[in-house]
Amino acid sequence: MHIQSCCFAGSRMIPARKHPEIQRELMFKVIELINEGVRYFYAGGNLGFDMMAALTVLNLKKRFPHIKLILALPYEDRTKCWREENQKIRSHILKQADMVAYLSEKCVKVDIPDSTACVCYLTDAKDIVVTTS
Protein backbone atom coordinates (compact mmCIF):
# COMPACT_ATOMS: atom_id res chain seq x y z
CA MET A 1 0.00 0.00 0.00
CA HIS A 2 1.36 3.40 -0.98
CA ILE A 3 1.24 5.90 1.87
CA GLN A 4 0.47 9.34 0.56
CA SER A 5 1.55 12.51 2.27
CA CYS A 6 1.21 16.23 1.78
CA CYS A 7 3.41 19.12 2.77
CA PHE A 8 2.53 22.82 2.90
CA ALA A 9 4.46 25.84 1.67
CA GLY A 10 3.42 29.44 1.61
CA SER A 11 3.81 33.01 2.60
CA ARG A 12 4.50 34.03 6.18
CA MET A 13 2.64 37.27 5.61
CA ILE A 14 -1.05 36.85 4.78
CA PRO A 15 -3.25 39.96 4.73
CA ALA A 16 -5.93 39.71 7.45
CA ARG A 17 -8.68 40.42 4.91
CA LYS A 18 -7.68 37.26 3.00
CA HIS A 19 -7.66 34.91 6.01
CA PRO A 20 -11.29 33.68 5.73
CA GLU A 21 -11.04 32.95 2.00
CA ILE A 22 -7.68 31.19 2.29
CA GLN A 23 -8.80 29.16 5.31
CA ARG A 24 -11.94 28.05 3.47
CA GLU A 25 -10.04 27.04 0.32
CA LEU A 26 -7.36 25.32 2.38
CA MET A 27 -9.97 23.29 4.26
CA PHE A 28 -11.63 22.19 1.00
CA LYS A 29 -8.26 21.22 -0.52
CA VAL A 30 -7.18 19.21 2.53
CA ILE A 31 -10.53 17.37 2.59
CA GLU A 32 -10.10 16.60 -1.12
CA LEU A 33 -6.63 15.17 -0.44
CA ILE A 34 -7.93 13.10 2.49
CA ASN A 35 -10.62 11.67 0.21
CA GLU A 36 -7.86 10.79 -2.28
CA GLY A 37 -6.02 8.80 0.40
CA VAL A 38 -3.58 11.30 1.88
CA ARG A 39 -3.06 10.47 5.53
CA TYR A 40 0.10 12.33 6.62
CA PHE A 41 0.33 16.13 6.56
CA TYR A 42 3.66 17.89 7.14
CA ALA A 43 3.81 21.51 8.30
CA GLY A 44 6.91 23.60 8.90
CA GLY A 45 5.73 25.62 11.89
CA ASN A 46 6.37 29.10 10.54
CA LEU A 47 4.02 32.05 10.89
CA GLY A 48 1.39 32.57 8.23
CA PHE A 49 0.41 29.74 5.92
CA ASP A 50 2.28 27.01 7.85
CA MET A 51 0.34 27.78 11.04
CA MET A 52 -2.92 28.09 9.11
CA ALA A 53 -2.33 24.71 7.48
CA ALA A 54 -1.42 23.02 10.78
CA LEU A 55 -4.54 24.40 12.48
CA THR A 56 -6.67 23.25 9.53
CA VAL A 57 -5.33 19.69 9.81
CA LEU A 58 -5.87 19.71 13.59
CA ASN A 59 -9.47 20.87 13.12
CA LEU A 60 -10.11 18.21 10.46
CA LYS A 61 -8.72 15.46 12.72
CA LYS A 62 -12.01 15.68 14.64
CA ARG A 63 -13.83 14.60 11.48
CA PHE A 64 -11.06 12.39 10.05
CA PRO A 65 -9.28 10.86 13.08
CA HIS A 66 -7.02 8.69 10.90
CA ILE A 67 -5.04 11.68 9.52
CA LYS A 68 -1.77 12.75 11.15
CA LEU A 69 -0.11 16.13 11.57
CA ILE A 70 3.67 15.97 11.56
CA LEU A 71 5.61 19.12 12.32
CA ALA A 72 8.96 19.27 10.56
CA LEU A 73 10.53 22.21 12.37
CA PRO A 74 13.85 23.74 11.36
CA TYR A 75 15.25 24.09 14.90
CA GLU A 76 13.98 24.37 18.47
CA ASP A 77 14.43 28.05 19.41
CA ARG A 78 12.98 29.37 16.14
CA THR A 79 10.20 31.33 17.86
CA LYS A 80 12.08 33.15 20.61
CA CYS A 81 11.51 36.53 18.89
CA TRP A 82 7.85 35.92 18.02
CA ARG A 83 5.02 37.85 19.62
CA GLU A 84 3.47 36.12 22.63
CA GLU A 85 0.17 35.50 20.82
CA ASN A 86 1.95 33.63 18.01
CA GLN A 87 4.03 31.64 20.51
CA LYS A 88 0.81 30.50 22.23
CA ILE A 89 -0.70 29.35 18.94
CA ARG A 90 2.48 27.47 18.07
CA SER A 91 2.54 25.89 21.53
CA HIS A 92 -1.04 24.68 21.00
CA ILE A 93 -0.08 23.19 17.63
CA LEU A 94 2.98 21.47 19.14
CA LYS A 95 0.87 19.87 21.88
CA GLN A 96 -1.75 18.60 19.41
CA ALA A 97 0.59 17.36 16.65
CA ASP A 98 1.03 13.63 16.21
CA MET A 99 4.79 14.00 15.82
CA VAL A 100 7.34 16.81 16.07
CA ALA A 101 10.74 16.52 14.41
CA TYR A 102 13.48 19.12 14.73
CA LEU A 103 15.60 18.97 11.61
CA SER A 104 18.64 20.74 13.05
CA GLU A 105 20.09 22.12 16.27
CA LYS A 106 20.54 25.55 14.69
CA CYS A 107 19.31 27.58 11.73
CA VAL A 108 20.16 25.84 8.45
CA LYS A 109 18.47 25.49 5.06
CA VAL A 110 16.21 22.43 4.93
CA ASP A 111 14.39 20.72 2.08
CA ILE A 112 10.64 20.10 1.90
CA PRO A 113 9.73 16.58 3.06
CA ASP A 114 9.30 13.96 0.33
CA SER A 115 5.54 14.19 -0.30
CA THR A 116 3.12 13.07 -2.95
CA ALA A 117 1.40 16.49 -2.86
CA CYS A 118 2.25 20.02 -1.82
CA VAL A 119 -0.41 22.63 -1.02
CA CYS A 120 0.91 26.15 -1.51
CA TYR A 121 -0.31 29.68 -0.88
CA LEU A 122 1.36 32.12 -3.22
CA THR A 123 1.01 35.83 -2.56
CA ASP A 124 0.83 36.61 -6.28
CA ALA A 125 -1.64 33.85 -7.16
CA LYS A 126 -5.41 33.83 -6.68
CA ASP A 127 -5.88 30.18 -5.80
CA ILE A 128 -4.29 27.53 -3.68
CA VAL A 129 -2.68 25.00 -5.97
CA VAL A 130 -1.80 21.34 -5.54
CA THR A 131 1.10 19.76 -7.37
CA THR A 132 1.69 16.05 -7.40
CA SER A 133 4.65 14.01 -8.50
Supply the range of the domain harboring residue 50.
4-132
> Are the CB atoms for 66 and 38 separated by under 8 Å?
no
Q: What is the CATH number of the domain that holds 115?
A: 3.40.50.450
Domains contained in the chain, number: 1
The SS3 of residue 4 is: strand
What confidence tens digit (pLDDT) does each residue in 65-107 have? 999 999 877 656 655 665 677 678 777 777 888 887 766 655 4
The strand ranges marked E within the chain are 4-10, 38-43, 68-73, 99-102, 117-121, 129-132
Does pTM surpass 0.85? no
**Could you give the maximum distance between any two Cα atoms of the chain, in Å?**
43
What confidence tens digit (pLDDT) does each residue in 97-117 have? 888 776 665 545 545 556 666
